[in-house]
Chain A
Amino acid sequence: QLQLQESGPGLVKPSETLSLICSVSGGSIYSGSYYWAWIRQAPGKGLEWIGNIYYTGTTNYNPSLKSRVTISADTSKNQFSLELNSVTAADTAMYYCARHVKPGYPPFVYFDYWGQGTLVTVSS
């Protein structure tokens, strides 16, 4: 059974960089079939896709965050990571990592596995 687990600091100071890791078990991120994504949810709010990465290193980012986001992968550790710089209080959220099937046929581009999420608070 595939499992994803987020880890990282729960508190980040304004203007600093938020760094999270998603550890994947029960499957390999070195797979041509899937993309690996970050999604966040501010307290009491809806879901926002941050970006994703393919095992080749190809990334896609939400234009609203693109200038501040970097997603990378370490296939040797079966992990992928998120860095969000210049954070503000607006970046306080639950951060989820998730998997989706590589776009193709049949069309199935949905998040079928999720981590439990990690809460990151931006505060001095």
Chain B
Amino acid sequence: EIVLTQSPGTLSLSPGEGVTLSCRASQTISRNYLGWYQQKPGQAPRLLIYSTSSRATGIPDRFSGSGSGTDFTLTISRLEPEDFAVYYCQHYGTSPLFIFGGGTKVEIK
């Protein structure tokens, strides 16, 4: 079973700063099946990035994704106040079909 490990667990940053979040898979996975979600308190997750680097509909271009093999990243170029949230990576694979990373919380410093 593939495991997705996200790091760090929490980041404390100020608006305007840039940030890169990490998602590491326990074995090589396809770029086509790695995505990122944003979750704000009291809300359902929202799809940000699919297929490693494609932005979902309506997602601003300050969000970008990259990676291959076992190492994937989500970068927010300049944090806006609405970007402080928890971010999850997700992989579509075999068994279980869908797995999520443990999440990275981006909090206001």
Pick the residue among B30, B37, B43, B97 that contacts A49 (CB under 8 A): B97
- The answer to whether B47 and A49 have CB atoms under 8 Å apart is no
Please measure, in the bound complex, the distance between the C-alpha atom of A47 and the C-alpha atom of B30, giving whole angstroms.
21
B95 part of interface (Cβ distance < 8 Å): yes
B103 part of interface (Cβ distance < 8 Å): yes
- The answer to whether A60 and B97 have CB atoms under 8 Å apart is yes
- The answer to whether A64 and B88 have CB atoms under 8 Å apart is no
Q: A46-B101, A47-B88, A107-B33 given as contacts; is B45 within 8 A of A114 (CB)?
A: yes
* Nearest CB in chain B: distance from A49 CB, A: 4
Q: A96-B44, A117-B44 given as contacts; is B100 within 8 A of A109 (CB)?
A: no
- The answer to whether B100 and A47 have CB atoms under 8 Å apart is yes
Question: Which residue of B is nearest A111, CB measured?
Answer: B47
Please measure, in the bound complex, the distance between the C-alpha atom of A63 and the C-alpha atom of B79, giving whole angstroms.
38
User: What residues of chain B lie closer than 8 Å to A33, measured between beta carbons?
Assistant: none
Q: Give the size range of A's interface with the partner.
A: 20 to 34
B99 part of interface (Cβ distance < 8 Å): yes
Please measure, in the bound complex, the distance between the C-alpha atom of A103 and the C-alpha atom of B30, giving whole angstroms.
14
- The answer to whether B35 and A110 have CB atoms under 8 Å apart is yes
User: What residues of chain A lie closer than 8 Å to B88, measured between beta carbons?
Assistant: 46-47
Within 8 A of B (CB), among A27-69: 37, 39, 46-49, 52, 60, 62-64
- The answer to whether B96 and A110 have CB atoms under 8 Å apart is no
Q: A46-B103, A47-B100, A49-B99 given as contacts; is B45 within 8 A of A109 (CB)?
A: no
Q: C-beta contact mask, A80-124 vs B, less than 8 Å → 1, else 0?
A: 000000000000000010100001000111111011110000000
Listed from nearest, the 9 A-B pairs whose CB atoms lie closest are A114-B44, A49-B98, A107-B32, A109-B92, A47-B100, A62-B96, A110-B35, A110-B50, A46-B102
Q: Which residues of B line the A interface, CB within 8 A?
A: 30, 32-33, 35, 37, 43-47, 50-51, 56, 88, 90, 92, 95-103
Q: Which residues of A line the B interface, CB within 8 A?
A: 37, 39, 46-49, 52, 60, 62-64, 96, 98, 103, 107-112, 114-117
